[in-house]
Structure 1
Amino acid sequence: MPSFFSNKKLIVLLVSIIILVALIGFSLSDRERVTGPEQIMRDTVGWVQSIFSKPAHAVAGFFENVRDMKYIYEENKVLKARLEEYAKITVERNLLQNENDTLRDMLELEESLHDYLLRPAVVIHRYPDRWQEHIGLNRGTQHGVENNMAVIDSKGGLIGKVQSVSEFSSYIQLLTDNDRTNRVSAQIQLDDPETGFVEDYDEERGLLIMRKLDIDAEIELDTMVATSGLGDVYPAGLEIGTVAFVEPDEYGLTQNVYIEPTADFSGLDYVYIVERTSVTLDPSLLGEGE
């Protein structure tokens, strides 16, 4: 017993516990006024709670932000997938619309060009380094295709002629090929028609050129230019384009007519191979009987 009371630290701890219990009991009693020691204790407890509560709130807020970021990421991922799907559907819809428009043009063309035998074909290759010169079609001798047959696009605009043909494909020389032998006998459809040759292509302007027309000919803009039917390649009446502008040649002796093509040479997909059904009169026979 004496040894217990001789332990000062233990006595101090016991007294402190008694005082603390007394204070707690006192503070729980129904009182309007708060004592000084109780106020100090409450302030101390509140201060300690604030020290620990701020980091706790910060940690809780951090994890809440992480959760929100994950939700936003997942939502963004879903929206991105939907956007890509929408873009894909839009592209497919536009392609189908363009294809439908082309097929509709071809149907109307078949009804209007009843004087010609038209063989539909699809462009199967076009080389970038010869983009303005040639295209390949999926029709050959097995489909009745022969050399020098005219070829038009889905709008009825002349694009060129069959240069070579195999059993199941053909090679088309375009009007935009600036080969010196590549020319078309054409007629400007005026009251007094002007006839000449479309024999060049201005790649920078995207215009065909009809050269060596009479310097005194009065040629109106937007006048239709079509094949004349002279020669043994192109039948008469196939649209080439419309007059864009006219200028004298370098010597001032003839006129050059620049033509806006009817055909869209940059977007050739579906075309027609034209078989002429009428026999062309040999120009040399026109002089007989004079």
Structure 2
Amino acid sequence: MPQFFLNKRLIILLVSIILLVALIGFSLKEKDNLTWPEQFVKDTTGWVQTVFSRPAHYVAGFFSNVQDLQNTYQENKKLKSRLDELAKLEADVQELKKENDDLRGILDKKDDLRSFSPIQATVIGRNPDLWNELLIINKGKVNGVKKNMAVITANGLIGKVKSSNQFSATIQLLSSMDHTNRISAVIQGKKPAYGIINGYDEKKELLLLKRIPSKASVKKNQMVITSGLGGVFPKGLTIGKVVEVEPDENGLTQTAYVQPGANFYDVENVMVVKREMMQPDFSDEIEGEEEDL
């Protein structure tokens, strides 16, 4: 007998394989009544399939979830980028809207400046240390901008030209603490009351209208405009509204606190007003006395 058939272990293995295949074949047959060996083999086969199929499904599900997470991350990244673009777009829209409103307001003022030549300008510089004092615009001598010209926004007067270069000019705001920064003004009413805008209360954020006659009747919310008597500023430019009035120390005059019509803190677009009427000669004024604009 060949040596192959003498190997008992190999014979047992072959017989076991044959029996296993036979049992699987019996388990796959459709029968209404199964014998207990067939039932045992069928149940065992199903249990083995379940044991191996669950980890397989788990691994497949894990990789599927990882892929979903990667897709979600990429999608969120794209959405975040779009949101950033949207935020920037909204900011640009708001900025353009504000600039458009400013320009529309300034253009509407042209009807009130029939005797004057308006010069539209944009603020290009502002020193943080002198925020309430000065600002720089992009128009200068080549555009006809000269010293002491009035400067307004859509809401009212903000100051005057302090100095003018070829292509730019420095504007001194009404909120400047310079004691020489004076504007001739009038309080509108049945009987106009004249005074001088001179000074700014930083705590109250109000302009000081001084030298109002003690007998003048001044009430809250009365409008304050330029008088035009200084010879440089045109008449009728809005300055603000009266908030409160108090007598001076000697009781000879009154001082009114005026809420500015313009916002000195946030200024972007302005108009320089060139007065067409001839400027009066103040050479006969007392020496050393500053002009009331």
For 1:189-268, list aligned pairs within 5 A.
189-249=188-248, 254-268=253-267
2:63 alignment partner in structure 1: 63
**2:167 matches 1:168:** yes
| Counterpart Cα distance in 2 of 1:98 and 1:4 | 100
Residue 169 of structure 1 deviates from its aligned partner by 1.9
Residue 74 of structure 1 deviates from its aligned partner by 2.0
1:84 alignment partner in structure 2: 84
1:119–1:196 distance in 2 versus 1, CA, 3 Å: same
Aligned residue for 1:267, secondary structure, equals coil
2:289 alignment partner in structure 1: none
Deviations 1:175-198 (A, max 9, x none): 010111112121111111111111
1:158 alignment partner in structure 2: 157
1:123–1:58 distance in 2 versus 1, CA, 3 Å: same
**2:145 matches 1:145:** yes
Aligned residue for 1:32, secondary structure, equals coil
Aligned residue for 1:182, secondary structure, equals coil
1:281–1:85 distance in 2 versus 1, CA, 3 Å: same
Instruction: Judge conservation of contact 1:231–1:282 (CA < 8 Å) in 2.
Output: no
> Which amino acid counterpart does residue 50 of structure 1 have in structure 2?
T
Instruction: Judge conservation of contact 1:230–1:280 (CA < 8 Å) in 2.
Output: no
Instruction: Judge conservation of contact 2:24–2:42 (CA < 8 Å) in 1.
Output: no
| Counterpart Cα distance in 2 of 1:201 and 1:113 | 27
Deviations 1:1-40 (A, max 9, x none): 2856654323433433343344334334442222222222
| Counterpart Cα distance in 2 of 1:274 and 1:76 | 53
> Which amino acid counterpart does residue 127 of structure 2 have in structure 1?
Y
Range moving further from structure 2, 12-21 or 163-172: 12-21
Percent of aligned pairs with the same amino acid: 50
Deviations 1:202-229 (A, max 9, x none): 2233221213434554322221101122
1:3–1:76 distance in 2 versus 1, CA, 3 Å: closer
Aligned residue for 2:123, secondary structure, equals strand
| Counterpart Cα distance in 2 of 1:14 and 1:264 | 101
Aligned residue for 1:180, secondary structure, equals coil
For 1:268-287, list aligned pairs within 5 A.
268-279=267-278
**2:133 matches 1:133:** yes
> Which amino acid counterpart does residue 167 of structure 2 have in structure 1?
F
Number of aligned residue pairs: 284
> Which amino acid counterpart does residue 189 of structure 1 have in structure 2?
Q
**2:94 matches 1:94:** yes
Instruction: Judge conservation of contact 2:99–2:269 (CA < 8 Å) in 1.
Output: no
> Which amino acid counterpart does residue 268 of structure 2 have in structure 1?
D
Name structure 2 gaps, 5 residues minimum: 285-293
For 1:85-124, list aligned pairs within 5 A.
85-124=85-124
> Which amino acid counterpart does residue 177 of structure 1 have in structure 2?
S
> Which amino acid counterpart does residue 184 of structure 2 have in structure 1?
S
1:181 alignment partner in structure 2: 180
| Counterpart Cα distance in 2 of 1:166 and 1:2 | 120
1:108–1:15 distance in 2 versus 1, CA, 3 Å: closer
> Which amino acid counterpart does residue 202 of structure 1 have in structure 2?
D
> Which amino acid counterpart does residue 141 of structure 2 have in structure 1?
T
Name structure 1 gaps, 5 residues minimum: 286-290
TM-score (norm: length of structure 1): 0.86
Instruction: Judge conservation of contact 2:223–2:242 (CA < 8 Å) in 1.
Output: yes
> Which amino acid counterpart does residue 77 of structure 1 have in structure 2?
K
